[in-house]
Structure 1
Amino acid sequence: MYELIATSTFGLESVVAKELKSLGYEILKVENGKVVFEGDEYDIALCNIWLRTADRVLLKMAEFKAESFEELYQGTLKVNWGDLIPENGVMHIVGKSIKSKLFSVPDCQSIVKKAVVESMKRKYKKDWFEENGPVYKIEVALLKDVVTLTVDTSGPGLHKRGYRERAGEAPLKETLAAALVLLSKWDNSRMLIDPCCGSGTIAIEAALIGKNIAPGINRNFVSETWPQIPRRIWDETREYARKKINDKEVKILAYDIDGRVLKTARRNSQQAEVFEYIHFQRMPIQEFSSQKKYACVICNPPYGERIGDKESIEDIYRTMGKLYKENDTWSFFIITSNENFQRNFGKKADKNRKLYNGRIKCYYYQYFRELPKKKKE
């Protein structure tokens, strides 16, 4: 068994932990930006393919205190790196240091590389390694003089589902979009509406959730090239994921005023193989109306920081507030960095959560309504 770490954007740790619990894992620890749990080779494949809100899955190799380069070297040398890395493995070292005596990241990377190679020499009884095989990205992370050594099993971040070729002006990360949907507690028995859909990320992630499609089913991961994880494990995990896709109806409406960006949204949904579950239409939010009950509105409207002007943005927020008042069974979930959102919406949120969209600090304003009673199966 390995100790594994699912990393996350600040504020989403509990969402990632809940996802892991639903997949059957026992959580060992939840810290800022990461959730620690245990698993084997099957779990590395399963978590990379299934996790919707985590940034990547790391394999924890060691944790120890180091206030000097010698302590860093000796702590790294104690790890049997050859048990993981083959003779021809590419050892790519990255690092970060926060509030630690060893503040020079390049020096820390150099020391760790030296110690890893020395450990490999002991294992393979040779002095030189070709490094032309599978990639092992080792991170040396120092926080208050405590070193954590990990190896990345994901490769490109888990938000890179493979469906988004282009995005709008203020793109929302796929992992964050999935988290917004999960936090709303929407399910496929209700209609979901995104009135400012942009490149369609929220609608697409909702469709993947509604159909129970694993977000990483159609992409590759760096650990697929590792000899430790047999090809059949990845094949079996993907086959399992395909069998878990449900045949339930999903109702998603996605609107935007920009016809050009809607073309991108349609293309993205086709790439994600969920186009048939989303109705895209060019329409300003001011013209939108519906008689449907119990809809769930999830939206990432313009913030006023990079796109749009102040008056038109505030008008969008006021229109949303009007829709909220006119539709007393609709729930609303809006992410924005705009400080005046609640005032323009006309009501204080039942709950709000601090999140980061890239480097922009945002709040996820949540307006709950009573949900429809579930029919007995």
Structure 2
Amino acid sequence: MSTRYRLFISITPGLESLLAAELGELGLLTSSFELRTGGLELAGDLELLKALCRCSRLAEGVRVRVGKPTAVRDFKALEAVVARQPWHAFLRRGGPAPRLRVSCERSKLYHSDAVAERVAGAIARAVDLDVEANRDDDGEAPLVHVRLVRDELQLSIDAVGERLHRRGYRRHVGQAPLRETLAAACLRAAGYRGRRALWDPFCGSGTLLCEAVLAARGVAPGGAREFAFTRWPSLAGRAPDATRGPLTAASALAIGSDRDHGVLRAAQTNVARAGLRGAVALLAGEPQSVADQIPAGALLVCNPPYGRRLSRSSRELVATYRQLTELLTRRRDLEAWVLTSAGELLRAPRLCWEVALRFDNRGLRVALWQLRR
């Protein structure tokens, strides 16, 4: 009988419904799932764990719950609960002590450092760990999440390792890169399926372009990487197959443009690393100057300049958004979705915008705006 896990799939808060929709389409959403702030929780076996890590484009991480939520109000109870968990299934005897990520909210045990010290000691004693082994490591030690909310303790262990947004193709980035998972979420919200041309007029290092074509081709984002769960003692000799999904839209075309020749070179490198030469076209120039090369009816999805380092009253920023709105006024065949924290700069006569999503990007509240024609 296969082991059953309680799994928490994390995502940027505000995008939980998109994650549920994606997992449903992939056939990975069990009937008992529950939406949580910042993710969703469900139960499944090893095959489901493998598929979640390998196939979700939106998920930021996957954790396995260790034990059930338990009331804890003092350090003695905390150590007792931690000590009786099945750590031998996840941690190797004599191996490095895990890294801990602790959060305490509205609990009697409110000092996270003190909680971390007790948890670390209890785990080390239970598994006979080498507590000195991970002091100078590079992040390969297992990661245990310790969450105390209203005196209720939930322990979890990271099943992923390196964060899921790191697909492996993006070695060069611009000044304000968009994480691959967030790019994928914007594309899903915009309804992109690879059936028409996509244009990003502020493409930067090409993240939106690569995510679009890889998704359209059905390439599993984690199909060629390893995950932390493959090193668990309980799964020794049961490493997952490095499978990829079927190619569904090999002819998908994405067009990126940018006025910065330096970031275009970075985009060219990233596109090549992703194996997408021939599927992504890169053009140099302002949006207005390259617009005539964009096919009629294209889907425009972009992440134009914004952020704390840019003043919303600066001439350059205002001019950039004005050019974009003038372009969209002229090219009424384009469907447009714009991710920005400066939505007020999109206002223009004859253009009606609506917020489709709100979430935080690098500590800044942003919105994905949809142009309603």
The structure 1 residue matched to 2:83, chosen from 77, 85, 101, is 77
> Counterparts in 2 of 1:34-73, with a 5 A limit?
34-62=39-67, 63-73=69-79
Residue identity matched to 2:64 = L
Question: Percent identical across equivalent pairs?
Answer: 27
- Structure 1 residues 42-99: Cα deviation after superposition (integer angstroms, max 9, x where no partner): 2222111111111110001132222222222222223222233332343312212233
1:123 aligns with none
Alpha-carbon distance in 2 for matches of 1:345, 1:215: 40
- Alpha-carbon shift at residue 307 of structure 1 (Å): 4.9
2:137 aligns with none
- Structure 1 residues 196-226: Cα deviation after superposition (integer angstroms, max 9, x where no partner): 0011111111111111111112322222222
Instruction: Give the 3-state SS of the residue equivalent to 2:234 in structure 1.
Output: coil
> Counterparts in 2 of 1:91-170, with a 5 A limit?
91-92=97-98, 93-120=100-127, 128-130=128-130, 135-170=141-176
Paired positions, count = 358
Task: Answer with 329-338 or 90-99: which moved more.
Answer: 90-99
- Alpha-carbon shift at residue 346 of structure 1 (Å): 5.9
Q: CA RMSD in A?
A: 2.3
- Alpha-carbon shift at residue 146 of structure 1 (Å): 2.1
Alpha-carbon distance in 2 for matches of 1:249, 1:231: 38
- Inter-CA distance 60–319: structure 2 relative to 1 (3 Å threshold): same
2:297 aligns with 294
Alpha-carbon distance in 2 for matches of 1:153, 1:253: 35
1:354 aligns with 358
Instruction: Give the 3-state SS of the residue equivalent to 1:186 in structure 2.
Output: coil
- Structure 1 residues 126-181: Cα deviation after superposition (integer angstroms, max 9, x where no partner): xx444769843211112232221000011111111111112111111111011000
Task: Answer with 16-25 or 264-273: which moved more.
Answer: 16-25
Task: Answer with 77-86 or 251-260: which moved more.
Answer: 77-86
- Inter-CA distance 64–307: structure 2 relative to 1 (3 Å threshold): same
- Determine whether 1:220 maps to 2:226: yes
Whether the aligned pair in 2 keeps the contact of 1:7 and 1:34 (CA below 8 Å) is: yes
- TM-score, normalised to structure 2, is 0.89
Alpha-carbon distance in 2 for matches of 1:367, 1:229: 49
Whether the aligned pair in 1 keeps the contact of 2:160 and 2:229 (CA below 8 Å) is: yes
- Alpha-carbon shift at residue 345 of structure 1 (Å): 7.8
Q: Structure 1 stretches of 5 or more lacking a match?
A: 121-127, 370-377
- Determine whether 1:205 maps to 2:211: yes
The structure 1 residue matched to 2:185, chosen from 179, 184, 190, is 179
2:10 aligns with 7
Alpha-carbon distance in 2 for matches of 1:116, 1:245: 45
Alpha-carbon distance in 2 for matches of 1:82, 1:227: 7
1:335 aligns with 339
Residue identity matched to 2:319 = D
- Inter-CA distance 231–358: structure 2 relative to 1 (3 Å threshold): farther
Alpha-carbon distance in 1 for matches of 2:359, 2:209: 19
Task: Answer with 207-216 or 344-353: which moved more.
Answer: 344-353
Task: Answer with 322-331 or 4-13: which moved more.
Answer: 322-331
Residue identity matched to 2:150 = K
1:372 aligns with none
> Counterparts in 2 of 1:316-327, with a 5 A limit?
316-327=320-331
- Alpha-carbon shift at residue 230 of structure 1 (Å): 5.1
Whether the aligned pair in 1 keeps the contact of 2:351 and 2:372 (CA below 8 Å) is: no
Alpha-carbon distance in 2 for matches of 1:181, 1:267: 22
- Alpha-carbon shift at residue 353 of structure 1 (Å): 1.9
Alpha-carbon distance in 1 for matches of 2:125, 2:346: 58
Whether the aligned pair in 2 keeps the contact of 1:89 and 1:136 (CA below 8 Å) is: no
Alpha-carbon distance in 1 for matches of 2:208, 2:193: 14
Instruction: Give the 3-state SS of the residue equivalent to 1:249 in structure 2.
Output: coil
Alpha-carbon distance in 1 for matches of 2:316, 2:227: 42
- Inter-CA distance 228–42: structure 2 relative to 1 (3 Å threshold): farther
- Inter-CA distance 345–166: structure 2 relative to 1 (3 Å threshold): farther
Task: Answer with 181-190 or 100-109: which moved more.
Answer: 100-109
Alpha-carbon distance in 2 for matches of 1:111, 1:363: 41
2:21 aligns with 18
Instruction: Give the 3-state SS of the residue equivalent to 1:322 in structure 2.
Output: helix
Task: Answer with 344-353 or 295-304: which moved more.
Answer: 344-353
Alpha-carbon distance in 2 for matches of 1:253, 1:197: 9
1:366 aligns with 370
